[in-house]
């Protein structure tokens, strides 16, 4: 049975996150590109319906990262298995090709989600199937901030055209200090201070492979600042709390040299606030 790996981009603003959420009873409608009866509008739910329509059979679409409501992605990864019997008129036999599959899916998806790559990851019998979660070795997120001046002479101009993908901060940020703080996060640490309550993980030890803050320059009346962080795995809200902590450093409210003490103290209250979802984007997942 063919198995396909999808790389997906989406604007998360109008989605209730990645994971399908069923709220009540209702008939399944595999030809619907929006949320079906009894479920919220999620990326997984929409994708599952569209893929089922294309391959003409029910499918399970499993994703690599359960992004929250409002969070975006450029490189989310998901996979599904279908039948490959062309004579039955269902499934998607490997010989049809992945480009045709991508076009068929994208032709039915809504404008805020798109499949940007398809790979045939079918494995021989007896070999475990490709798992978007279990086979993942690392992933990366970005967090984009629009820092506005509020002093004398400032008009308080806010971004308009990309407002759905940036978080507003109403003061200048010290990017150099933020970068000094970010370097303290690299390596294997217990990141419980950077995890939301109820994270549900047996261990809060994670490895950050890289963490850096870049000044992207002036744009739409403010200064654009971007955090890029890559790791072997992340806790619930971890990147948004890291971003909030680095913003506090940029504001001068927290010392960059104080980050190791925050990690060692293991207290959520010592880290910064959880910033909003709109600035967060899943950039890539590697295997």
Domain coordinates of the chain in residue numbers? 3-120, 138-286
Q: What is the pLDDT of residue 38?
A: 75
pTM above 0.85, yes or no: yes
Question: 3-120 domain in CATH 3.30.70.580?
Answer: yes
**3-class SS at 129?**
coil
Select the more confidently predicted residue: 154 or 263.
263
Residue pLDDT, tens place only, 46-65? 999 999 999 999 999 999 99
* CA angle (236, 242, 246) in 5-degree steps: 165
CATH number at 138-286: 3.30.70.660
What are the b/e assignments for 124-142, b being 16+ CB within 10 Å? eeeeeebebeebbeebbbb
Q: Residue 150: pLDDT above 90?
A: no
Residue pLDDT, tens place only, 33-43? 456 667 899 99
Please identify every residue annotated as catalytic.
Answer: 68
Lowest mean pLDDT across 22-26, 54-58, 179-183: 22-26
């Amino acid at each position: 049975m063919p198995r396909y790996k999808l790389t997906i981009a989406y604007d998360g603003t109008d989605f209730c996150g990645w994971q399908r959420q069923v709220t009540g009873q209702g008939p399944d409608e595999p030809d619907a590109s929006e949320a079906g009866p009894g479920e919220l509008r999620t990326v997984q739910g929409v994708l599952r319906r569209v893929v089922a329509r294309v391959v003409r059979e029910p499918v399970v679409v499993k994703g690599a990262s359960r992004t929250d409501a409002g969070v975006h992605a450029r490189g989310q990864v998901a996979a599904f298995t279908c039948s490959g019997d062309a004579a039955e008129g269902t499934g998607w036999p490997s010989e049809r090709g992945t480009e045709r599959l991508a076009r068929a899916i994208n032709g039915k998806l809504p404008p805020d989600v798109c499949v940007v790559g398809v790979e045939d990851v079918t494995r021989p019998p007896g070999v475990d199937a490709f798992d978007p979660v279990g086979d993942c070795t690392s992933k990366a997120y970005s967090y984009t901030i629009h820092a506005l001046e509020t002093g004398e002479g400032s008009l308080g101009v806010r971004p308009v055209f990309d407002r759905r993908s940036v978080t507003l901060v109403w003061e200048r940020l010290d990017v150099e200090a933020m970068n000094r703080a970010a370097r303290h996060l690299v390596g294997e640490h217990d990141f419980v201070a950077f995890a939301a309550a109820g994270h549900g993980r047996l261990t809060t030890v994670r490895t950050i492979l890289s963490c850096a803050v870049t000044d992207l320059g002036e744009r739409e009346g403010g200064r654009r600042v971007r955090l890029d962080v890559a790791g072997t795995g992340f806790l619930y809200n971890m990147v948004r709390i890291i971003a909030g902590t680095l913003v506090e450093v940029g504001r001068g409210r927290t010392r960059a040299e104080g980050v190791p003490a925050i990690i060692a103290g293991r207290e959520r209250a010592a880290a910064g606030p959880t910033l909003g979802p709109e600035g967060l984007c899943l950039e890539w997942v590697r295997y």
